[in-house]
A and B are shown apart, each in its own frame.
Chain A
Amino acid sequence: MKRELTPNAALRKTYEASRSAVLGGVIICVLVLLTATVSLYSPYTPEAMDFMAPLSPPTRAHLLGTDNFGRDILTRVLYGYQISLAVALGSVGFGLVVGVSLGLLAGYFGGILDNIIMRPMDVLMAFPAIVLVVALTGFVGRDVSVMIMAVAVVYVPIFARVMRGSTLEVVNELFVEGARARGASHLRLMLRHILPNAIPPVLIQASILMGIAILLESALSFIGLGTQPPDPSLGLMLSEGRSFMQQAPWMVMVPGLAISLAVLGFNLLGNGLQELLNPAGKGR
């Protein structure tokens, strides 16, 4: 027996190794919880206008103030998170499934298949993300599902590349050779032995890309290619609030801070995971 930790000691060590992962995780969990249940506790709907109190500063009735139509900003931010998170989850989810499959195949089989898969990925990678997303939404239409697909198209090559690199490392490990030596099939090797051992860097990447997806959704909505009014979206609220910055600074500050908070949560989680799962790469 060697190097055995009791579960508690292991947990404490893990926690100490990465407070930032825990903090990020808590931020995200709280946001998700508040967002998912907003319709249960909020006294307002996101479209409800209070004509008595347009551009109201934070008050007891409107905790974070109202916009120019008298709509409750806190409520709209929380509904806006729903769209942000839907885009982030959808695009990262799709990107993960497709990108990881492609990267795994490319890394495992190598050779010609590697080239067939990775060269188009390189081409996709060459486009700046925002340009690609703007072009896709501009052509196809303005809808949440279109945004998800557009961001996913940006993410697939990123995930594929990370997964391929990670697979290349794992595929040469002795335990993979050992599994082959006892008759494991290609599929079994890939799914049972290589995938779980190669996935950690991809998950770190996924957490960071969640944050970037939220930024991309906000940016698209900000320039009018994403969520359309009157639907609440953080980017859209930011854009609408610009004209009232002098009289009602909370109209831009609240959605702006909300975006920052979500992105911060995912980045903290990503960095923390990086430290936890890859201690050797610390400080990079």
Chain B
Amino acid sequence: MSLLSVRDLSTEFRSGGRWLEAVSDVAFDLQRGEILGLVGESGCGKSTIAYSVMRLLARNARIRSGEVWLDDVNLAALDEERLQDLRGRQISMIFQDPTTALDSLFTVGHQVMETLQEHLDLDPAGARQRALELLRQLGIPAANQRLNAYPYQFSGGMSQRIALAIAIACHPQVLIADEPTTALDVTIQAQILQLIRQLLVDEQGAGVLLITHDLGVVAQVCDRVAVMYAGKIVEFGDVHSLFSNPLHPYTQALLNSLPSKGIARGRLENIQGRVPSLADRPSGCRFHPRCPQAKAVCRKSVPPLKQVSASQEVACVLYD
């Protein structure tokens, strides 16, 4: 059985008296011990999926339909009190900007211990001991002194380690990482991803939903990947198949537009046109106005996600 199962999730935002759909009928499963990448351009709805799963949507957003199963609990229909109990204990999240994700008024030790004491039956001394272990596990030097330091005394990479320490403090089954390395430089990025892989996935068998727009990150750490475009998943598959044999024209275009290392091959490829706005989504396949292989039928019918090989699913009429 999968760890986290998202079923036909649609999330919408209220804007000027109208409800606009940011995520449309998205479905995927997160397995135990895997990192699932969710990639797409800005505004394609990948963060909205994360916030929907955590039920941390802003006031002007709501889940219109769908289910989010964590074990045998449907998070999408859970009351706030039970959610508070689950968040941080079974499912937790880290964010893009680690420096603002910590409360600047409290020491980092306080913030790690706060979560530990909220969810586990620990006295202050026990919580401190556990916090110390966590910081050491995350490779923070002089962890004992660092517990008493304030967030402003930490660099971005160190702050993200602390955020990660808090997120994994209670051994969650699922971690949602919303662009956790976008604000960090490349070497730190690799270390953080390595830590996520090692501490959470390999040691605890947890599942990680990694949201990113960086295909390099996906290739580096993900097991499977879902490619999103304009609120829908257009292609889904394991990383190797998807990178070696991209099926959807959008995935192909994305991979094409990666700069290749060291070889001057003229202009950087790009995708013509731009991401359609929420208020003005194209009919049929949402990618058709920008698709080099679009046919007449693409304008009318919405292609469903279909299994085309053992390891790949795609939503495109080319594979009917």
Contact = CB atoms under 8 A, between A and B. Distances in A.
Interface of A: 1-4, 110-111, 173-175, 177-186, 188, 192-193, 196-197
Nearest to A172: B58
Given A177-B95, A181-B167, A182-B87, 13 more contacts: A2-B155, A4-B153, A173-B100, A175-B101, A177-B56, A178-B95, A178-B101, A181-B87, A182-B166, A183-B84, A183-B119, A184-B84, A184-B88
Contacts of A110: 59
Interface string B7-21: 000000000000000
B103 to A, nearest CB: 4
Contacts of A188: 118
Contacts of B105: 196-197
Contacts of A1: 153-155
Interface residues of B, number: 32
B87 A180 contact: yes
A118 B54 CA distance: 30
Contacts of B163: 178
A278 B22 CA distance: 37
Q: Which of A181, A192, A193, A196 has the most CB of B within 10 A?
A: A181
A174 B155 CA distance: 17
A179 B103 contact: yes
B78 to A, nearest CB: 13
17 contacts: A2-B153, A3-B152, A111-B59, A174-B97, A178-B101, A178-B163, A181-B56, A181-B92, A181-B93, A182-B115, A182-B169, A183-B84, A183-B92, A185-B84, A186-B80, A188-B118, A197-B104
Closest 3 CB pairs of A and B: A183-B88, A182-B88, A183-B87
Contacts of B152: 2-3
A19 to B, nearest CB: 25
A196 B111 CA distance: 14
A173 B105 CA distance: 13
B199 interface: no
Nearest to B172: A182
A135 B180 CA distance: 59
A186 B80 CA distance: 9
A184 B155 CA distance: 25
A183 B102 contact: no
Interface string B69-102: 0000000000010001111110011010100111
A174 B56 contact: no
A174 B153 CA distance: 18
Contacts of A196: 105
A180 B84 CA distance: 7
B95 A174 contact: yes
Contacts of B167: 181-182
Nearest to A181: B93
Contacts of B95: 174, 177-178, 181
B89 A183 contact: yes
Q: Which of A110, A182, A192 has the most CB of B within 10 A?
A: A182
B56 A180 contact: yes
Contact of A175 (B87, B102, B155): B102
A193 B106 CA distance: 9
Contacts of A111: 59
B63 to A, nearest CB: 16
Contacts of B93: 178, 181-182
Interface in B119-167: 119, 152-155, 163, 166-167
A1 B155 CA distance: 6
Given A182-B166, A183-B84, A174 B101 contact: yes
Contacts of B80: 186
A182 B84 CA distance: 8
A170 to B, nearest CB: 10
A227 B112 CA distance: 53
Contacts of A178: 93, 95, 101-102, 163, 166
A174 B97 CA distance: 8
Contacts of B92: 181-183
Nearest to B112: A182
A184 B167 CA distance: 12
A3 B104 CA distance: 14
B101 A183 contact: no
Nearest to B110: A192
Given A175-B102, A177-B95, A183 B118 contact: yes
Q: Which of A1, A175, A180, A197 has the most CB of B within 10 A?
A: A175
Contact of B118 (A2, A173, A175, A184): A184
B88 A181 contact: yes
Given A2-B155, A110-B59, A197 B103 contact: yes
Contacts of B155: 1-2
Contacts of B56: 177, 180-181
A73 to B, nearest CB: 47
Nearest to A2: B155
A182 B118 contact: yes
A3 B95 CA distance: 23
B86 A183 contact: yes
Contacts of A186: 80
Contacts of A177: 56, 95, 101
Contacts of A181: 54, 56, 87-88, 92-93, 95, 167
A106 to B, nearest CB: 13
Contacts of A197: 103-105
Contacts of B102: 175, 178
A110 B80 CA distance: 16
